[in-house]
Amino acid sequence: MELYILIAACVLFAGASVTVFLKDVHMFQLNSYGVGTHMKWMMKNFSSVIYNIFALIFLGMSLFSDFVRQDSGKHILILHAIFAAVFAVLIFANRRRKKAKTPLVFTARVKRMLVTYLILALICIALAFVLPLLGVKGLSYAVLLGFYALSPFMLFLANLINAPIEAAVRNYYLKDAKRILRDCPDLKIIGITGSYGKTSMKHFLTAILKQRYNVLMTPKNYNTPMGVTITVRGYLRGYHEIFVCEMGAKKKGEIKELCDIVHPCDGIVTSIGPQHLESFKSMENIISTKMALADEVKGGKAFLNIDNEYIAKEKREGAVTYGTVEGADYRGKVISVSKKGTEFSVTYPDGREYVFHTCLLGAHNVQNICGAVAIADSYGVAPDEIADGIASIKAIPHRLELIEKGGLTVIDDAYNSNPAGAKAALDALSYFEDYKILVTPGMVELGEKEEELNAAFGAQAAAVCDFVVLVGEKRAVPIKRGLIEAGYPEDKIFVAGSIGDAMNKVYSLTTDKKKVVLLENDLPDNY
């Protein structure tokens, strides 16, 4: 009977191990497979390891189970049954309780890691059967429970074991992508980077350039070395004339790494700000990393947004500037903003001026479109083609996307948030004459300045919003402080435990005006 219970326990152990692996590797993936980043996340999220502590308690019981073995066989069977039940409980406890905002992607890397993790688990199962045969009693369940209790570190071990394989795979794909690009000597490559605005710029520029050229752009958020490599190997075709390549970075030097892969002909720096300050460590690192693109376009042109104070200070000789400030080579000027969109003009370096219209909300979009106009003009796209391209631009999902839903006007800016973007979103909200409601958990990845910048965001919201719903008790503290210090009435602030509770509060508010709701940021699953 003991053997049958041990077999059942091992089956349940395998199920519990896979269940916790999928949860752990999901967070590991969201943390960009960074061991240090994931360790910090584990320290901040104690609840993520609470069941591992639960397993450690039973591990102690298992280690002392030899004392019970001198008792009757009935008691031994009960002890075995308890250990088997523990794994069943762990499977249930770690089940997915809600749909993930960003689901786990079963990439080849994740699959390889799962195989290695399962091999480690099978070694533990084998030990559980072999140890009693060798006369070592009382350790079968200790081995299984120990593996589970240390599962986050077993994930790291699987990642470490696979490191040489991952490096070899990565190098092979990178070399292949570089080979493909070398085989396209006439392909024009435009790199885009910035702390924010790069995805919008990518879409705007592609929409305009498509009026004359066959254009490929990096899809979705494929802005890492492997994302760009996947784009080149999977999407680039011989008929493409221009490759618009979004370049993201979370650490110093990563833009230079991307430039070494694609060798951009021209580059655009949309913005520089304290985005990902936690991983960059300093503004100096962010500035040098982003401006590396301007230095790498040898023989081409760098296009710089001089509305941004950091870029204006770092302006490179020979660069083409754009923005809404005086002195920009391509200067945009907002004419009018309404629910129907934005009308604006762009003055070219030679004094020509053209009026354009976009359905997009907010004057801040004029900056990025102005930059896209500058590049398109350098590529010979005529003003009427540029106008058609601008008119065709649609709102990017979750980036100031205007939606009518359930009797509400929703400005969905939930993709992410940063100080400049959050202020721009509040500016867009201010154009409405309706009852203005902000729903937000605040901004993240801002390092030591996170509380300060969220408090400033609260003060900015106080000047615009009729009601503010903050999501998350802890995350609400600095924003609420900023609101109150700006004189905002406390009875117009509500702190919700979840986005669902927040929206329930929004629907419950009574007002004679139509409600317009700004959804500013939606934190990923690892927050």
- DSSP for 115-138, please give it: HHHHHHHHHHHHHHHHHHHTT--S
Is 228:401 a contact under the CB 8 Å cutoff?
Answer: no
Distances (CA, A) of 212 to 140, 189, 199, 376, 390: 69, 16, 21, 10, 13
- Higher pLDDT among residues 140 and 365, named by residue: 365
pTM (2 d.p.): 0.75
Look at residue 277 and tell me whether its pLDDT is greater than 80.
no
Predicted confidence band of residue 525 (pLDDT cuts 50, 70, 90)? very low
Look at residue 264 and tell me whether its pLDDT is greater than 60.
yes
Of 19-23, 162-166, 240-244, 501-505, minimum mean pLDDT range: 19-23
CA dihedral over 12, 17, 20, 21, signed as positive or negative: negative
Look at residue 94 and tell me whether its pLDDT is greater than 80.
no
Q: Write out pLDDT tens, residues 119-128.
A: 999 998 888 8
Buried-exposed string 213-251: b where 16+ CB fall within 10 A, e elsewhere: bebbbbeeebbbbebbbbbbeeebeeebebbbbbbbbbe
Q: How far is CA 232 from the centre of its chain?
A: 22
Give the model's pLDDT for residue 443: 86
Distance between CA 418 and CA 521 in Å, rounded?
Answer: 9
User: 262: buried, middle or exposed (CB in 10 Å: 19+, 13-18, 0-12)?
Assistant: buried
Of 136-140, 378-382, 401-405, minimum mean pLDDT range: 136-140
Could you count the other beta carbons within 10 Å of the beta carbon of residue 432? 19
Type of residue numbered 380:
G
Give the model's pLDDT for residue 72: 45
Best CA proximity match to 526, nearest among 18, 154, 47? 47
Helix or strand (DSSP H, E) at 451 = helix 450-462
β-partners of residue 346 are 332, 354
Average confidence (pLDDT) over 32-38? 83
- Higher pLDDT among residues 285 and 70, named by residue: 285
